[in-house]
Amino acid sequence: MKQFRNHKIKLAMVCNSSNPDLVEYFKCKIKAIERAGISGQTIVLINRFIKTDDSLRCYISSYTNKAFLDKFTIIDFFVSFYIFAVLLRSHVKIIHFTTAHISNLFLAVPLKCFGTELIFTIHDLEPHPDSKSFFIRIYNYVVINLLADRIISFSRGAITKQKHKDIFMYVPLCGFEVKINKPKSGKYVLFFGRMEKYKGLNHLLCLIEEIVRLRLDMNFVIAGKGNIDNIERFRKHTNVRIINRFVKDDEVFDLFAGASFTILPYDSATQSGVILLSYAHATPVIVYNIGCLNEYVVNGKTGYIVGYKDNNAIVDILKTTNEDKIRELSAGAIQLFQDRYSTAPCERYYAEMYKKLILQ
């Protein structure tokens, strides 16, 4: 890694997470810095597992594998003293914490005392009801009420519910690469992602059982790592294929290539990377109208939005949507993705934002 050069730096970007999806999102923002022409005024702070362009000034700021407390967190705490000294010496004006991570707080608290402008990206202003929700709620409270000068959120609707609306900026979730750029149809409905309770697998089971009861010729693929409640009830249906493990990148491509729709029957959501991953693979979506998922779907153009738990509406969609319509939806998903959510618009959004902040 290149050594620090002794002149003023205006922006520091931080990705203390090692989550692969969040790392890709972070790298898109690095490209935005280059696009804005401010690479020479930027320091990048990264998790030890992230590899970046050597032309950037990079420092390892985190050694942990988890966002909230593991055996390496104490190392992060002591490393933060060194990083804090680097940032002070370089007269950093703004620091952007791009992912939620406990190690962010080790830097943010002392920097706040020295007048550094703190920007935080909060992916879920309303945490999902999973094992991490308690820690995320505490983290969000501390960031929103005590530390942040500005907060980036991916959901307009979630911002309207906040008390301190004036510190929020909206930028859509984006930065995925195009995988399939030709309209397609598909042979099955895909449920993809980590198997968490809030993702509504129980609703999906009810939908599948209704389709079986009606003797409709529709197939489903459920793919992802985690615990699947009532897995034996899923397995007894011949129209259901289950891949209950981590899915490799080449398998992900094949799964989406064969899907007519991706289904998100969630109980809770702000936004979802699964929607954008689907669009990246030219696959329309079917979502419950929950949280802010509707902000990422153009009903009838890139997929369908149905009422919460309205499986009858989903049955009607699957019964009446022919291959030509699926291809039309697929084309709509491609266009929307390329216009708003792919790497190019993501770089543009952040390049404009960083340039504006630095020029203030």
pLDDT in tens, 239-268: 999 999 999 988 999 999 999 999 999 998
Q: What is the reported pLDDT for 110?
A: 96
Best CA proximity match to 97, nearest among 75, 113, 116: 116
Per-residue confidence (pLDDT) for residue 355, from 0 to 100: 86
| Coil vs helix vs strand at 24 | helix
How remote is the C-alpha of 56 from its chain's centroid? 24
Give me the residue spans of the domains in the chain: 11-175+343-359, 188-341
Q: What is the pLDDT of residue 2?
A: 38
Ranges of the chain with pLDDT below 70? 1-8, 53-55, 130-131, 359-360
**Superfamily of the domain at 188-341:** Glycogen Phosphorylase B; (3.40.50.2000)
Residues with Cβ within 8 Å of residue 38, at least 6 apart in sequence: 10, 11, 354, 355, 358
Q: What is the pLDDT of residue 72?
A: 86
**Topology alike, domains 11-175+343-359 and 188-341:** yes
pLDDT tens digits for 175-217?
Answer: 999 999 999 999 999 999 999 999 999 999 999 999 999 999 9
Buried-state track 302-313, b at ≥16 Cβ within 10 A, e below 16? bbbbbeebebee
Question: Which CATH superfamily, name and number, covers 11-175+343-359?
Answer: Glycogen Phosphorylase B; (3.40.50.2000)
pLDDT at 76: 94
